Amino acid sequence: AQRSSIALQHGAHHIGKRTDAQMEIWRNYGLGQFIHWGLYAIPGGHWQGKYYPGAAEWIRSWSGMPNEDYDHLYQQFNPKNFDANAWAAQAKAMGARYVIITTKHHDGFCIWPSKYTDYTIANTPYKKDALKEIVDAYDAVGIDVYLYFSIIDWNHKGYQSAAPKTVAEKRDYETFKTFTANQLKELLTNYPSAKGLWFDGTWDAAWVAQAAFADSLETELRAMRPGLIIGSRFRADENGKRHFDTNGDLMDDYEQGWERKLPKTIADIHGNDWDCVMTVPENQWGYHSEWRGHVKTSTELIEMMAQSVALDGNFVLNFGPDGQGTIRPEEAKLAQEIGDWMQINHEAIYDCGYAGLEKQDWGYITQNRKTGKYYLIVFNVPVSGTLKIKNASGKGIGKLYDLAHPEQQYETEEIHRSAEGNEYFIHLKDKPTQPKVIVWESSDLD
Ligand code: FHN
């Protein structure tokens, strides 16, 4: 059906995927790391013996913690165990190929010495530029850095959530806009290796009404850094539409709406690039000293990563270091377990995407975008030990073998021939205890 096409000044500026080199790199990452680290890591979800049940990084908004107490936390920020090189080494061992780091969350505290506010790391006992340490450390191990930036800023006096109404409110909000633009340009200037900006806190009515301003600011930022990658959360169009403009077209470079949830089928992603950002517990990003509820296992997280890549997306796992800069043992263990799996199986994740084959109940199929090889990532082995696969039309079965043991080839049994593709059984020889990857090099039909 013909889609309506309303003329928009501030809608999507390109239709369809970006095909330049930097975006190709982004698309092929497969696995990323998210880090939420700021002043909220000090209370860690508790204040004066009381437990805060919300996300730890939102504690300032809780009636149980007075704002002035929160606003003095910076005087204690002195993370004695912070070692950016150790974080980067751990992320590298996990198999992450990009990192998104909170430069400033909703509280407004900057982990870089911004010259546009005093509310920065420069005024803490730590004093040093932690963001630079992180960028340098991740650069050194070859992990691309993306800068998370919250438009919501509870510390700036011009910041408003509701659309400004009075003359004074409007004037104040203009100061906030200038401040936001200055900080973003400062970040791109100070950290020239950063590949993109990951925006958040852009749902306020005041910001949603800034289509023209945000669009022109984005043009300036892109001019500063050719290849810069920005997701769909930054700006709204002139009708206040977010992520997708009034015509239903994706705003900017990739869809940023997959937070703590995943698409189920390829139809859900509408042909767009996307990433999923995921927490380990239900909804904690910053450090919360006492996680409650279900804490995901490495197998669950590996499955989410496989599902993401099989549906053409990236999977980004969040870490919330504590107030001393320590990555908690639960997260360190997950990083280790995912890394152990990735060491053997990364070929099924890196440079891979949607295979165009029918999904099967035993797991997910990814395809290397360059070699065309398929990877069967098996999570659910049927009691029969037999997996069904269906190839693409016009293709022959070729060969199937274990990624971990390429000499281990599989016999296939043809079940059914049809013009849309033939169906086969593969008979597993063992009962895997870990998600297992089988490589499938299908062949052209003679
Ligand atoms: O409010 C934030 C939340 O604290 C966290 O930073 C996540 C990460 O995507 N984003 C917002 C909620 O959508």
Give the start-to-end residue ranges of the domains of the chain.
Answer: 21-352, 355-444
- Does the beta carbon of 200 sit less than 6 angstroms from any atom of ligand 1? yes
Residue matched to tokens 């949603």: 208
Q: In what order do the strands lie in the sheet containing 363-368?
A: 352-354, 363-368, 374-378, 436-444, 395-402
pTM recorded for the entire structure: 0.98
- pLDDT by 10s per residue, the chain, length 446: 345 689 999 999 999 999 999 999 999 999 999 999 999 999 999 999 999 999 999 999 999 999 999 999 999 999 999 999 999 999 999 999 999 999 999 999 999 999 999 999 999 999 999 999 999 999 999 999 999 999 999 999 999 999 999 999 999 999 999 999 999 999 999 999 999 999 999 999 999 999 999 999 999 999 999 999 999 999 999 999 999 999 999 999 999 999 999 999 999 999 999 999 999 999 999 999 999 999 999 999 999 999 999 999 999 999 999 999 999 999 999 999 999 999 999 999 999 999 999 999 999 999 999 999 999 999 999 999 999 999 988 888 999 999 999 999 999 999 998 888 899 999 998 899 999 999 999 987 65
Angle between helix 84-94 and helix 329-345 axes, rounded to 10 deg: 40
The packing angle between helices 130-140 and 84-94, to 10°, is 40
**Which mutation among 150, 200, 288 tests ligand 1's pocket best, with the greatest number of atoms within 8 A of CB?**
200
State how far Cα 411 lies from the chain centre: 39
**pLDDT score for 420:** 86
Q: Which two tokens stand for residue 165?
A: 């109404």
User: Letter for the amino acid at 260?
Assistant: R
Tell the residue nearest (CA) to atom 6 of ligand 1: 285
Instruction: Tell me, using a 6 A CB cutoff, whether residue 71 lines ligand 1.
Output: no
Task: Indicate which atom in ligand 1 lies nearest the CA of residue 152.
Answer: 1
Q: Which fold has domain 21-352?
A: TIM Barrel (3.20.20)
Q: Are 221 and 184 in contact (CB under 8 A)?
A: yes
Ligand 1 pocket member 100 (CB < 6 A): no
Q: How many angstroms separate the CA atoms of 138 and 145, rounded?
A: 7
Give the pLDDT score at 128.
98
The response to whether residue 83 sits with its C-beta less than 6 Å from ligand 1 reads no
Q: Which CATH number fits domain 355-444: 1.25.40.10, 2.60.120.650, 2.60.120.260, 2.60.40.1180?
A: 2.60.40.1180
What's the complex ipTM? 0.99
Q: Residue 444's pLDDT is what? A: 76
Quick one: angle between helices 298-310 and 329-345, nearest 10? Answer: 50
pLDDT in the model for residue 2: 46
58 Cα nearest atom in ligand 1: 4
277 lines ligand 1 (CB under 6 A): yes
Reference 351, options 373, 333, 334; nearest CA is 373
